[in-house]
Amino acid sequence: MKKIIKNTKFFVVFFLIQLLILSNMISFAAENDLKDKDIKSALEIELTTDEGVASHLIDVNITDGIVTLSGSVDSILSKERAVKVARSIKGIRSVVDRIEVKPVEQSDNQIRKNVEDALFNDPATDSYEIKVKVNDGMVTLSGNVDSYAEKDLCEQVAKGVKGIKEIDNNIYVDYELERPDYEIKEDVEKLLESDIRVDDGLVEVEVVDGKVNLSGTVGSSEEKNQAKSNAWVSGVNSVDASQLNIEWWARDEMIRQDLYADLSDEKVEQAVKDSFVYDPRVWSFNIDVDASNGSVTLMGTVDNLKAKKAAEKNAENTLGVWRVKNRLKVRPEDEWKDSEIAENVRESLLMDPYIDRYDLTVLSYNGKIHMYGVVDTFFEKNRAEDIASRTKGVVDVQNSIQVDFVTDWRTQTWKQDWEIVEDINSEMFWSPFVDSDDINVAVDDGVATLTGTVATWSERQSATENALEGGAFRVINKLKVDKGSGYWPF
């Protein structure tokens, strides 16, 4: 009886603390309300400076935090990225996408062939039996896969083909076994809890007949989208996040009181392994995970370079991880001639809506790709490397592509240092991924130095991105990841 009374008292106290947290958050939000005009201005700046968005024909309207994007872009990837940028602005509660895709003209037959080639040449989708139909640039995908993650991956690979206006993903997810609701619920809660990009403190999960319902509060539209993605575990038929409200103060004043409390090395290792289970680029490989005080080492063998990079990213996004040492070896299953590997990379670059217009040189030596040429932006340089990394037979990439200093906005020098400082601080303020209160920014001759503390490795990386977006030519990131820090809203 004493034990029951003790537990009851604990839960009563815990409940009262949560009420106090919410009360203080609501009061804080009321005193620091974000105005539509300020949100719109921040979004328009982000769209203009994001190198992956052709924003010159995009219009922005906002009412009560609900943003409508209209106009046109030249690729489905640019449209998708514009929506993602909007979701990543503090204060935006929802994004209405009315952007029209007006791509470079390609025949339907050519688009169909390119999509089929893209799916076959990608080492993660080559074994799927996917049918592709194209009608006036509208692509329809059909077939069967074993998971929602595989279905989504097929769509993402197809989007990398130029000329596509829209994709209708009719791929059917055929689960081998039916899972009880309680197992699904446990898996969803486990993924939400271990994902550094989602604060699960105010998120509730309900599962009925394989249908997942998410409710509660998150801090940004992008965080909501990530929570929905996490909910698509094995056995799920649908995900409803309509009751998951977006309040920007929930991200600034996180409920997770101590991000690293009670996270033993064993728990961190298991969380990283769990993240691999739902990534179709990684799950088929036997990857060893060794954690030591938040530093994770990945060891083992994968058969393609993109899988190695994906495993590292999964580990970085896991709660409790502040550093990743990627010791994975890439060993392709099939033997490829260097001439074949280089030609496959060239063809993939020519199909891509971002890279197709550039004259790039691609050479392969013993499976290592060497890339030369000139592009307009760092985004395009990195995009070319990513395309090469997911080409069969590629073991490593030496990216020697140069960025045209005249056309890339980040290398322009007309901003004074104090202006760059202001713009970096603004970028961090509007980002739902960075708590700028404990970050100091100094700029000398266009080089930004970041000092202070952040709570996660992911936040540290986001701060670097914000500094570049704010106009810094180069970033020296001296931010320390304070593993013992938490976010206390009172």
Q: What is the pLDDT of residues 231-271, one digit of tens each?
A: 999 999 999 999 999 887 665 555 454 555 567 899 999 99
Contacts 24+ apart (CB under 8 A), 81-85: 81/50, 81/52, 81/53, 82/47, 82/50, 82/53, 82/55, 82/58, 84/222, 85/43, 85/46, 85/47, 85/50, 85/53
The C-alpha R_g of the chain, in whole angstroms, comes to 23
Taking residue 277's Cβ as centre, other Cβ atoms within 10 Å add up to: 15
The reported pLDDT for the residue numbered 488 is 28
Domain at 338-403, CATH from 1.20.1250, 3.40.50, 3.30.370, 3.30.1340: 3.30.1340
The reported pLDDT for the residue numbered 24 is 46
Q: Higher-confidence residue: 436 or 399?
A: 399
The reported pLDDT for the residue numbered 405 is 63
pLDDT (mean) for 455-482: 84
The reported pLDDT for the residue numbered 7 is 44
- In this model, does residue 22 exceed pLDDT 80? no
The reported pLDDT for the residue numbered 243 is 93
The reported pLDDT for the residue numbered 480 is 85
138-147, 203-212, 436-445: least confidently modelled range: 436-445
pLDDT (mean) for 417-422: 88
pLDDT (mean) for 396-419: 75
Instruction: Check for a shared fold between 36-101 and 108-173.
Output: yes
- In this model, does residue 403 exceed pLDDT 50? yes
Q: What is the pLDDT of residues 35-72, one digit of tens each?
A: 999 999 999 988 988 888 988 899 999 999 999 999 99
Q: Higher-confidence residue: 231 or 404?
A: 231
Q: Could you give the C-alpha distances from 148 to 154, 158, 166, 169, 196, in angstroms and in order?
A: 10, 16, 19, 11, 21
Per-residue H/E/C for the chain: CHHHHHHHHHHHHHHHHHHHHHHHHHHHHHHCCCCHHHHHHHHHHHHHHCCCCCHHHEEEEEECCEEEEEEEECCHHHHHHHHHHHHCCCCCCEEEEEEEECCCCCCHHHHHHHHHHHHHHCCCCCCCCEEEEEECCEEEEEEEECCHHHHHHHHHHHHCCCCCCEEEECCEECCCCCCCHHHHHHHHHHHHHHECCCCHHHEEEEEECCEEEEEEEECCHHHHHHHHHHHCCCCCCEEEEEEEEECHHHHHCCCCCCCCCCCCHHHHHHHHHHHHHCCCCCCCCCEEEEEECCEEEEEEEECCHHHHHHHHHHHHCECCCCEEEECCEECCCCCCCHHHHHHHHHHHHHHCCCCCCCCCEEEEECCEEEEECEECCHHHHHHHHHHHHCCCCCCEEEECCEECCCCCHHHCCCCCHHHHHHHHHHHHHHCCCCCHHHEEEEEECCEEEEEEEECCHHHHHHHHHHHHHCCCCEEEECCEECCCCCCCCC
CATH number for the region 108-173 comes to 3.30.1340.30
pLDDT (mean) for 157-162: 95
Side-chain-facing half-sphere of 56: CA atoms under 13 Å? 3
- In this model, does residue 357 exceed pLDDT 70? yes
What are the residue boundaries of the structural domains of the chain, listed by start?
A: 1-33, 36-101, 108-173, 181-252, 265-330, 338-403, 412-481
**Domain 265-330, what architecture?**
2-Layer Sandwich (3.30)
Q: Higher-confidence residue: 295 or 409?
A: 295
> Residue 314 has which token pair?
């999964």
pLDDT (mean) for 457-468: 84
> Residue 116 has which token pair?
């089929």
The reported pLDDT for the residue numbered 320 is 85
Q: How many residues make up the chain in this entry? A: 490
d(C-alpha 60, C-alpha 416), whole Å:
29
d(C-alpha 199, C-alpha 250), whole Å:
9
Q: Higher-confidence residue: 322 or 230?
A: 230
139 in Cβ contact with 164 (< 8 Å):
yes
Q: What is the pLDDT of residues 293-322, one digit of tens each?
A: 889 999 999 999 999 999 999 998 898 888
pLDDT (mean) for 208-228: 92
Q: Which top CATH class is 36-101?
A: alpha beta
- In this model, does residue 27 exceed pLDDT 60? no
pTM exceeding the 0.85 threshold for the entire prediction: no
- In this model, does residue 331 exceed pLDDT 70? yes
> Residue 307 has which token pair?
């899988």
The reported pLDDT for the residue numbered 41 is 92
d(C-alpha 473, C-alpha 479), whole Å:
18
Mean pLDDT of the chain: 86
Sign of CA dihedral 43, 431, 385, 228: negative
Q: Which top CATH class is 412-481?
A: alpha beta
Q: Higher-confidence residue: 160 or 199?
A: 160
Query: Residue 406: which pLDDT band, with cuts at 50, 70 and 90?
Result: low
The reported pLDDT for the residue numbered 407 is 54
- In this model, does residue 100 exceed pLDDT 90? yes
- In this model, does residue 158 exceed pLDDT 90? yes
Q: Which of 141, 147, 80 is nearest to 354 (CA)?
A: 80
81 in Cβ contact with 53 (< 8 Å):
yes
Q: What is the pLDDT of residues 70-80, one digit of tens each?
A: 999 999 999 99
Q: At what angle do helices 305-316 and 378-389 cross, to 10 degrees?
A: 120
466 in Cβ contact with 428 (< 8 Å):
yes
Looking at the DSSP assignment, which residues form a beta bridge with residue 363?
A: 370
- In this model, does residue 9 exceed pLDDT 50? no
- In this model, does residue 18 exceed pLDDT 50? no
